[in-house]
Amino acid sequence: MSTSSKFYQPRHPEDSPFFKVLEANFDTFELNYPALYQSKHGFWRPVIRKSLEKFMRCGDLREGFAIVRCKDCGDEKFVAFSCKQRSCCPSCDKKRSIILGRRLTTEIIQPVAHRQWVFTIPKRLRIYYRMDRRLLGRLSRCAYETMRELFRSETANDTVLPGMFSAIQSFGDLLNFHPHIHSIVTEGAYTEDDKFIPRPYVNLRVALTIWEDKVCDMMLREEKISQEVVNQIRNQKHSGFSIDNSVRIPAGDNDGIHRLAEYIARSPLSLARMISVDPDGSVVYRASNKSCIPYPLMGDETFKTGVKRNFQAFKPLDFLAEVTQHIPNKGEHQIRFYGRYSNKGRGYRQKLADKQEEINRLLDIRHRVEEIKIRSKFKLYWAAMIRLVFEVDPLQCQKCGGEMKIVGFIDSEAKARDILISSGLCRDRKTRPPPKALSPPQKPVKYPLLKEPPKAEDFGDFTCGEYIEPVPDYETCDMVSPSNHEVAEWTE
């Protein structure tokens, strides 16, 4: 029986810097939210407390666990349950992105070339999406309608449909609010008779014009902006809208699709980039790019560009405000499928295939049952995720190298505590400090809950009356920074 020198070690989430900041400051943050952050980030959402309370119990053996036992030597270990929260637990977000990547490559993506499309909007419109999160779903729909109309124009066929998978992202590199859409789209479109028409090159100027029209029309229908604002945007030299499709995935490159899916469905928060937490809870958060870029000012309701930098220093409550603004509401879908890849389209084609191949399907039923079992096992089996992420087998016994199996579950907190005490594994919880009431800032807020619409001149540099939109600040683009800013660089 072979053994490995590398074994999986369970994580201790309570030792992470984010957990410590949250544990020490969350109650104070919630108490002072209406006075300090409501005008900038909108009303307090109950989902914030619910999600973060569950995150603080993620991976905690005291909340229950699975018992795993080696069938050879009888050694046991406990595996804690996860919280399954979105956009606040990096561990659960990573697991979710792995499942998504595998689902795309095994069930959805067709064997044709794809491109990543990134759709961004002007800074002066972003504040509406922060205050009304329903608009994020409508923004994703606008992206799909843009692609559908573009390919119908390119193919001169009003019935073709592209296959499109979209992820709604609300965050920039330094946790700033930056709503945009990442999409994986077929490099062409499908006809009604299921024939693929490749279009490796499309007119990006036409695509950008369609994207601008779709978003502006949607904002008008939602009564968020007036026709006057739309006219201002369209008359500016740099409207602030942008589209990028420079990333291409060749046909059959499932590994590329998987990696890209993990990237665009990633967590807003990276624990590895929390490079410093001071005793008072202040956080230094590093950008993914070492280059210094004029990111928007932290907490500024106008999203103005600030000093060029590759890090952001946060006070603890400000850090929590930036993180929690990205937590989605219950029922708010962040992953969407359109066109050829929509649930309706795939279900309809499956019904047709079942009718045409009913005999073959019945003859091959044994293979199908085994395939379903494998998929279900992968989806539910935590060990598969550990193997993919850490390249180690968590079900390999550390004593004898034998195979371990789950033999039971403990879902009672009282029983879990008794077992942990008897095993010497119980770690006492720290008492969270009582919340402190803080004085609101003296600086008046310019747009309290957006009762007064923002003006163009509040959102960046002005040259001869034209609004200048900097290059989008998502991670994959090449940045071009103005030269009239100071530079603050973090070096290790």
pLDDT attached to residue 346: 79
Q: Specify the pLDDT at position 343.
A: 85
Contact criterion met (CB below 8 Å) for 143 and 171: no
**Six-digit token string for 123:** 């800074």
For residue 227, being part of any structural domain is answered with yes
**HSE value, Cβ hemisphere, 13 Å, CA-based, for 134:** 5
For residues 95 and 451, the answer to whether their CB atoms sit within 8 Å is no
d(CA 422, CA 415): 11
Give pLDDT, residue 460. 42
CA triple 441-447-450, angle to 5 deg: 135
Nearest to 23 by CA among 436, 315, 438, 430: 430
Residue/partner pairs of 276-281 with CB below 8 Å, 24 or more apart: 277/17, 277/20, 277/21, 280/316, 281/21, 281/24, 281/25, 281/315, 281/316
Query: Which residues neighbour 41 within 8 Å (Cβ) at sequence distance 6 or greater?
Result: 130, 321, 325
**Cβ atoms of 36 and 29 closer than 8 Å:** no
Examine residue 173 and state whether it is found in any structural domain, yes or no.
yes
- Report how many domains make up the chain: 1
- Can you list the residues of the chain whose pLDDT is less than 50? 1-5, 372-380, 442-486
Whether 320 is in a domain gets the answer no
Question: Closest by alpha carbon to 292, among 309, 313, 268?
Answer: 309
Can you tell me the distance from the alpha carbon of 175 to that of 155, in angstroms, rounded to the nearest whole number?
40
Cα(277)–Cα(81) distance, integer angstroms = 27
State pLDDT tens for residues 228-274. 999 999 888 888 999 999 999 999 999 999 999 999 999 999 998 99
Give the separation between CA 109 and CA 101, rounded to whole angstroms: 10
In this structure, the strands spanning 487-488 and 274-277 are unpaired
CA angle 4/6/10 to nearest 5° reads 125
Element (H, E) at 149: helix 134-155
The whole-angstrom separation of Cα 123 and Cα 239 is 10
Answer yes or no: is 65 within a domain: no
- Residue 331's SS3 state is coil
CA distance 132 to 139: 12
Residue 147: CA atoms inside 13 Å, Cβ hemisphere, count? 35
At 342, list the tokens. Answer: 């929509």
Q: Which two tokens stand for residue 86?
A: 């979105």
55 assigned to some structural domain = no
Domain span at residue 240? Answer: 90-276+333-349
Tokens of 137: 């779903």
Nearest to 172 by CA among 398, 473, 482, 485: 473
Instruction: Look at residue 85 and tell me if it is in a domain.
Output: no
By the 8 A CB rule, do 113 and 200 touch? yes
Amino acid 488: pLDDT: 56
In a domain, 459, yes or no: no
Burial (CB count within 10 angstroms: exposed 0-12, middle 13-18, buried 19+), residue 446: middle
Task: Tell me the residue ranges of DSSP E strands in 376-447.
Answer: 404-410
Residue at 410 is within a domain: no
DSSP 106: I
The string over 463-481, giving b where at least 16 C-beta atoms fall within 10 Å of a residue's C-beta and e elsewhere, is eeeebebbebbbeeeebeb
